[in-house]
Structure 1
Amino acid sequence: MLQCKHAQEFSFGPRALKDALISTNPALQELYAKAFSRAEKLFLSEAYNPQRTLFCTLLIRTAFDWLLSHPDAPEDFETFYHAMLRRKQSYCRKHIYLQPIGKASSLSHLERNRREGGPKNTTGSCVESFFLGLRVKCLPSIPISSIHCCYRHSQDSDRVQLHADGILNFLKNNKPMDALCVLGLTLLDLYPCETWSFTFSKFLPGQGGTGVC
């Protein structure tokens, strides 16, 4: 059994944070200078401001924390930028589609606003704000039975869990022609394989353009 530890701080110096977020690569620095407005740069600069109040220091409180129990190699922006296969929007593929899965009251606002003709909801507005320049559309909610994915009962709570791969295959095979990507949303638990107890989300890399959470 993992032993609980004292709280640990995850913090880095201003120079290290600036290099990680903006990069030391002159080409990426030039891209940063051109892409963001003065107000956006002021907002981002708070991340590497020693006296910042907007972004708090990250505390790791116990050995059960994800960062301690599932360690990952650090990644800065330059590594991400060159390693990621970026999907660029085009005239015919410029929409992010949200696909509600299962009947759930917490997702009903997506269906309601789909009928009203736009993403006038918290989820859609948040996605449009984050992926600036892309449009969000919501698809009609679909029942679990129409996906034909594998499922199981959780060992801890006996709740139904859906196999993420089955959902991803369904989304990929039914992706609209003008979709840059499709995101499935469900309130049911997901699992990626039999050895995992659960997962928060999963996506298809490359040209799949689909994910579920």
Structure 2
Amino acid sequence: MTDMRHLSETLKTALISKNPVLVSQYEKLGAGEQRLLNEAFQPVNDLFAPITVHSQSDWIISHPESPQDFEQFFSDHYRKAPCPGKQNIYIQSIGSLGNTKLINEGYIKWLKGYCEAFFYGLTVKFLEPVSVSATRCSFRVNEHTQNLQIHAGHILAFLKKKKPKDAFCIVGITMIDLYPRDTWNFVFGQASLTEVFEDVQRGKKEKST
């Protein structure tokens, strides 16, 4: 018979290594939350399945990235953790998300539920939708697809000005194509982790003075 205490300890160690901070955080989780995390280390389970690459056009095939384990993610100085007063995710929709009001509201409801489940403990709030022209972002018509595209970097600059003081982050969503620079055909999305890090550092400096 397998010693369940030994199995649990093995899984816990595999999950959080020997980092005392992570060990402490794991111990604070409820039984259900611990089971959810432990399930990821079972060879066969109902909650997690490997991601299958379907074609050569998938991002990870076209743009190989170095693997990152949880320890590396946790220690990354760009990683930002929620803090009191900054526990809201704000979502700014740009342009219409659907052909009808019903579809548009359905997308918003689904996205809110997904984000609050994935980013547990944070609250998702939607800002008033804005038109593409209201962002004053550069745009172009893609010469290959003939689709309208918005400059992703300019959207980030627009969002930075709209970010509320109690925001953990602000996210822009749109059904319109994006491009990061003239030489690129398109991009799925773009983030500004450096800005986030600078905001955190600035906050620490202000507090120390």
Q: What TM-score, normalized to structure 2?
A: 0.75
Deviations 1:137-185 (A, max 9, x none): 1111101111111111123320101100111101101212222211111
* Match in the other structure for 1:133: 121
SS of aligned partner of 2:183: coil
Partner Cα separation in structure 2 for residue 109 and residue 31 of structure 1: 45
Alignment partners' CA distance in 2, 1:28 and 1:53: 29
Q: Tell which deviates more after alignment, 87-96 or 165-174.
A: 87-96
Q: Which structure has the highest helix share of the two?
A: 2
Rounded to whole Å, the distance in 1 between the matches of 2:28 and 2:115 is: 19
Q: 1:169 and 1:94, CA in 2 relative to 1: closer, same or farther beyond 3 A?
A: same
Q: For 2:30, which of 27, 30, 37 is the aligned residue? A: 37
Counterpart-to-counterpart distance in 2, 1:190 and 1:21: 39
Contact 1:100 1:184 in 2 (8 A): yes
Cα distance in 2 for partners of 1:205, 1:168 equals 11
User: Which residue of structure 2 lines up, in the alignment, with residue 150 of structure 1?
Assistant: 138
Q: Does 1:79 align with 2:72?
A: yes
- Which amino acid letter does the alignment assign opposite residue 71 of structure 1? P
Alignment-mate amino acid for residue 133 of structure 1: G
1:50 lines up with 2:50 in the alignment: no
Q: Which has the higher strand share?
A: 1
Q: How far has the Cα of 1:130 moved from its partner?
A: 1.9
- Name 1:13's counterpart in structure 2: none
Distance in 1 of aligned mates of 2:159 and 2:191: 11
Where in structure 2 are there 5+ consecutive unaligned residues? 1-10, 198-209
The CA deviation string for residues 101-129 of structure 1, in whole angstroms up to 9 with x for no partner, is 0133269569869xxxxxx8221122122
Aligned ranges for residues 81-96 of structure 1 at < 5 Å?
81-96=74-89
Do residues 177 (structure 1) and 165 (structure 2) align?
yes
Contact 1:20-1:78 within 8 A present in 2 as well: no
Q: Provide the C-alpha distance between the structure 2 equivalents of 1:128 and 1:70, rounded to a whole number of angstroms.
A: 29
Stretch of structure 1 that moved more, 195-204 or 47-56: 47-56
TM-score with structure 1 setting the length: 0.74
Q: Structure 2: which amino acid aligns with 1:55? A: F
Cα distance between partner residues in 2 of 1:102 and 1:180 = 23
Aligned to 2:179: 191
Aligned residues: 186
Q: How does 1:6-45 map to 2 (within 5 A)?
A: 22-45=15-38
3-state SS in 2 of match to 1:78: helix
- The CA distance in 2 between the partners of 1:207 and 1:63, in whole Å, is 33
Which residues of structure 1 form unaligned runs of 5+?
1-17, 114-119
Partner SS for 1:190? strand
Over 4 Å off, 4+ runs: 18-21, 106-113
Matching residue of 1:67: 60
- What is the alpha-carbon distance in structure 1 between the residues aligned to residue 15 and residue 56 of structure 2? 31
Q: Deviations over 1:3-31 (max 9, x none)?
A: xxxxxxxxxxxxxxx69972423325513
**8 A contact 1:110–1:138 mirrored in 2:** no
**Would the aligned equivalents of 1:97 and 1:181 in 2 still touch at CA under 8 Å?**
yes
